[in-house]
Amino acid sequence: MLVSGARDSSINASLASWRNHEKGDQPLFPPQVVVEVKALACELPYHHEIPLSRFSINEIRREIIARGITAQISGTTVWRWLHADAIRPWQYRSWIFPRDPAFEEKAARVLDLYEGFRDGMPLGSTDYVLSADEKTSIQARIRKHGTSGSLPNSPIKVEHEYQRGGSLTYMAAWDVHQAKLFGHVESKSGIEPFSRLVESVMNQEPYRSASRVFWIVDNGSAHRGEPAITRLREAWPNAIMVHLPIHASWLNQIEIYFSVIQRKVLTPNDCESLTDLENRLLKFQERYEKIAAPFEWKFTRKDLANLIKKLSDQPVPIKRAA
């Protein structure tokens, strides 16, 4: 008996009726076989006691034959059927299932600030929105041989081996609407280093005399929960901390700038010392700010609602026992 409930004999008879026996012609398969192959490709192998983490085309082909779905089939045919529905079981992507019960509410609050609103009202001319975080454990990799420049038909060559020259943390804040950058380097992250970043910004105009300065942050230990909100408010009465949902740093615009840092300063990572690394980060910050413009943020409340619906329509992932 097959997955569909049909018996082997009926499938074989159906297959026979679909075949063209002229020499050189490829066998034709009934729709039922195509459906069963696609269903197989959408299954997780270990749910059927197959010791694989994911299927490849050849493994799907072998399993089709082993289950008796059809006696023979080529890998090309299997690929063509799966390609038609964009089914690629050999690919995978890591993700974090949203666990914050107030995910939509918190995310919407941040998206509103990006669009210039707070509680349904437009922000005032003396309101500012800052996106802040820290990029931790940035290593100074001192290559054992110098990096060579590009030559005709030869890319830049970076020595694989390196010595560890220590690591640092880059603290930064991004004014979402003014495209202004603030940042400095610390030996490690924490409440005090983050407080120094806030102080360096809030001591400057226009933030010092602003009506409201919204600080968008994730849930890292340096600025987590109600204690962090209270610390900020007591130090700077016009500063308001706005937390992202748990595991939603992708909604924090400073992460876009950090990705630029990663591509343009840290790839490849080749420094002479920890001091050299610090200087590069701060000089790039100065260089970038001269040409910076507000990010073209396109993820809106409507997109958020569509995402929430999409997640709610998906099967809930199995939660493993601790």
CATH number where 186 lies = 3.30.420.10
Q: Is residue 204 included in any domain, yes or no?
A: yes
Flag whether 320 is in a domain: no
**Is 254 found in the same domain as 224?**
yes
Residues 206, 77 share a domain: no
235 and 114 within one domain: yes
What is the torsion angle, in degrees rounded to the nearest 10, for the CA atoms of residue 186, residue 190, residue 196 and residue 197?
A: 80
* Nearest Cα residue to 71 out of 80, 58, 83, 62: 62
- Give yes or no: residues 55 and 119 share one domain: no
Looking at the domain assignment, is residue 192 inside a domain?
yes
Residue 78 and residue 120 in one domain: no
Q: Decide if 90 is inside a domain.
A: no
Give the domain extent around 216.
103-311
Q: Please, what's the largest Cα pairwise distance for the chain?
A: 86
Among candidate residues 31, 50, 84, the one where a domain is terminated: 84
133/230 Cα distance (integer angstroms): 18
> Does 98 reside within a domain?
no
Cα first-last separation, the chain: 37
How far apart CA 88 and CA 244 sit, in angstroms, is 33
Both 49 and 176 in one domain: the answer is no
Same domain for 206 and 73, yes or no, is no
**Amino acid 159: pLDDT:** 85
Same domain (yes/no): 218, 295: yes
Considering the domain architecture, whether residues 68 and 116 belong to the same structural domain is answered as no
Judgement on whether residues 76 and 199 belong to the same structural domain of the protein: no
Buried b / exposed e across 245-258, counting CB within 10 Å, b at 16+? Answer: bbebbebbbbbebb
Q: Please check whether residues 148 and 289 belong to one and the same domain.
A: yes
Q: Which DSSP state fits 90? A: T
Q: Given this model, what pLDDT does residue 24 score? A: 45
- The neighbouring-strand residues paired with 185 are 170
**And the tokens for 179?**
């495209």
- Number of folded domains that form the chain: 2
Kindly state whether residues 52 and 108 are assigned to the same domain. Answer: no
Q: Print pLDDT tens along the chain (322 aa).
A: 444 444 454 444 444 444 443 344 456 899 999 999 999 999 999 988 999 999 999 999 999 999 999 999 999 999 999 999 999 999 988 877 777 888 999 999 999 999 999 999 999 999 999 999 999 999 999 998 888 888 898 888 888 899 999 999 999 999 999 999 999 999 999 999 999 999 999 999 999 999 999 999 999 999 999 999 999 999 999 999 999 999 899 999 999 999 999 999 999 999 999 999 999 999 999 999 999 999 999 999 999 999 888 877 766 555 655 5
